[in-house]
């Protein structure tokens, strides 16, 4: 009996050992398969990258670049002498510092950065060192005019930096093109010293483009006028119809009087809204400089319509109510007095 039990136990141990060996073999096989898959995946990625690189090289080999072409590239190096571009071509592109911009305020080290995309004209297919020589200035003469024309048509607000002063204005460059800003278009007010604008950045509108004459005119005043109008319209929108305000007559016209309400606001009192009596012209009852009270009728189309007559009518209505109220209380007082007098005559 003991011998049978011992044989049974040995058989169980042998079975467990066999199962362990089978499981270990399965794990080892899985690890081998996993390593094989990783190697295969790595090979596939490497093959994919190689194919992409080959495709780019193949595309570059078929590409033809001619002198006069305008091409673009990413900046990969900047120094005082010039800029190097990656053209996605077997040769790099180089732009000399003097061919970057005509703007005297332009700084190649401050204004150009690695990663910038630049459009330039091919000047030479080989500069002697295996590079393609380019010119950004020449490209601006072609592409720049199309861009500024678009700015003009779309009334785009653009930023420029004033480079220098000239007779009756200043110069600023836009898209590589020399632009002129007349002194009268630098500010909403008179400009005493043009030199105070040199080096300043301005928001401008393009107001004249004549490519044939190489004429580009810009205006900062137009942008300032738009901003001022927006601010004024906002203040007008805050005025509540029905409000009674005080102001001064600033001008008189045949059809009405303009009243200065302060804070840059001005409103019109139409001739029909000046007086309760019929008048032919505002000057019959008003003079420039008169202080008047007006009621806001409406602010339609960002214009303030006022009425002096409405203020007078409101005042009359108020006076009538006050008189009626006073009469009412006066009557009560009179009645009370009469009763008192009567009571005084009664003897108890």
Mean pLDDT of 232-241: 92
* Fold classified for 70-139: OB fold (Dihydrolipoamide Acetyltransferase, E2P) (2.40.50)
List the CATH code of the domain at 155-226: 2.40.50.140
Cα separation values, 180 from 170, 209, 250, Å: 6, 11, 37
Q: Does this model's pTM top 0.85?
A: no
Question: Measured between alpha carbons, how far is 175 from 158 in angstroms, rounded to an integer?
Answer: 10
Q: What does DSSP say about strands 244-253 and 177-182: parallel, antiparallel, or unpaired?
A: unpaired
User: Could you tell me which residues come within 8 angstroms of residue 3 by beta carbon, excluding any fewer than 6 positions away?
Assistant: none
Cα separation values, 318 from 32, 58, 307, Å: 102, 92, 17
Which residues share a beta bridge with 124? 133
DSSP H or E segment with residue 214: none
Average pLDDT of the chain?
82
Sign of the dihedral through C-alpha 186, 187, 192, 196: negative
Q: What does DSSP say about strands 304-307 and 265-270: parallel, antiparallel, or unpaired?
A: parallel
Structure-block tokens of residue 213: 């004459």
- For the range 37-41, what are the long-range contacts, defined as Cβ-Cβ under 8 Å and sequence gap of 24 or more? none
Question: Measured between alpha carbons, how far is 110 from 94 in angstroms, rounded to an integer?
Answer: 18
User: Could you tell me which residues come within 8 angstroms of residue 96 by beta carbon, excluding any fewer than 6 positions away?
Assistant: 81, 82, 133, 135
Confidence of residue 35 (pLDDT cuts 50, 70, 90): low
Q: At 159, phi and psi to the nearest 5?
A: -100, 135
| Position 2 pLDDT exceeds 50 | no
Domain 239-312 annotated CATH 2.120.10.30: no
DSSP H or E segment with residue 82: strand 82-86
Q: Could you tell me the end-to-end alpha-carbon distance of the chain, in angstroms, rounded to an integer?
A: 145
Question: Measured between alpha carbons, how far is 186 from 228 in angstroms, rounded to an integer?
Answer: 15
**How does pLDDT run across 243-297, given as a tens digit for each residue?**
999 999 999 999 999 999 998 899 999 999 999 888 999 999 999 999 999 999 9
Number of H helices, E strands in the chain: 6, 15
Which residues share a beta bridge with 157? none
3-class secondary-structure state, position 184: helix
Question: Measured between alpha carbons, how far is 206 from 149 in angstroms, rounded to an integer?
Answer: 8
Q: Write out the residue limits of the CATH 2.40.50.140 domain(s) in the chain.
A: 70-139, 155-226, 239-312
Cα atoms in the 13 Å half-sphere on the side-chain side of 135: 17
Confidence of residue 344 (pLDDT cuts 50, 70, 90): low
Mean pLDDT of 111-116: 94
C-alpha gyration radius of the chain: 44
| Position 343 pLDDT exceeds 90 | no
Cα atoms in the 13 Å half-sphere on the side-chain side of 39: 6
CB count in 10 Å sphere of residue 289: 8
Confidence of residue 37 (pLDDT cuts 50, 70, 90): low
What residue spans of the chain are helical by DSSP H?
2-62, 108-111, 136-139, 145-154, 221-237, 309-344
Question: Measured between alpha carbons, how far is 209 from 151 in angstroms, rounded to an integer?
Answer: 10
Structure-block tokens of residue 137: 């200035």
């Amino acid at each position: 009996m003991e011998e049978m039990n011992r044989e049974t136990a040995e058989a169980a141990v042998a079975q467990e050992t066999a199962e362990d060996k089978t499981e270990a073999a399965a794990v080892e096989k899985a690890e081998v398969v996993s390593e094989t898959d990783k190697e295969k995946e790595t090979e596939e990625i490497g093959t994919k990258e190689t194919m992409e690189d080959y495709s780019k090289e193949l595309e570059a080999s078929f590409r033809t670049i001619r002198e006069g072409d305008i091409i673009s590239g990413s900046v990969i190096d900047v120094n005082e002498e010039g800029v190097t571009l990656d053209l996605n071509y077997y040769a790099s592109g180089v732009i000399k510092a003097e061919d970057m911009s005509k703007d005297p305020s332009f700084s190649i080290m401050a204004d150009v950065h690695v990663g910038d995309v630049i459009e330039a004209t091919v000047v030479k297919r080989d500069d002697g060192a295996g590079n393609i020589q380019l010119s950004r200035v020449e490209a601006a003469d072609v592409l720049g005019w199309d861009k500024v024309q678009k700015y003009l048509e779309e009334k785009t607000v653009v930023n420029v930096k004033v480079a220098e002063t000239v007779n009756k204005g200043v110069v600023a460059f836009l898209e590589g093109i020399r632009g002129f800003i007349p002194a009268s278009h630098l500010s909403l007010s008179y400009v005493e010293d043009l030199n105070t604008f040199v080096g300043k950045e301005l928001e401008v509108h393009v107001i004249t483009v004549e490519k044939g004459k190489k004429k580009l005119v810009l205006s900062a005043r137009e942008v300032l006028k738009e901003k001022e109008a927006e601010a004024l319209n906002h203040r007008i929108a805050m005025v509540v119809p029905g409000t009674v305000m005080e102001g001064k007559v600033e001008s008189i016209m045949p059809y009405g009087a303009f009243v200065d309400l302060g804070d840059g606001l001005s409103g019109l009192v139409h001739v029909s809204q000046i007086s309760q009596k019929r008048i032919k012209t505002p000057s019959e009852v008003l003079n420039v400089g008169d202080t008047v009270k007006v009621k806001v009728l409406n602010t339609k189309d960002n214009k303030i319509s006022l009425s002096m007559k409405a203020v007078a009518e409101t005042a009359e209505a108020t006076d009538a109510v006050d008189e009626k109220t006073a009469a009412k209380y006066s009557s009560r007082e009179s009645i009370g007095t009469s009763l008192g007098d009567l009571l005084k005559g009664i003897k108890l």
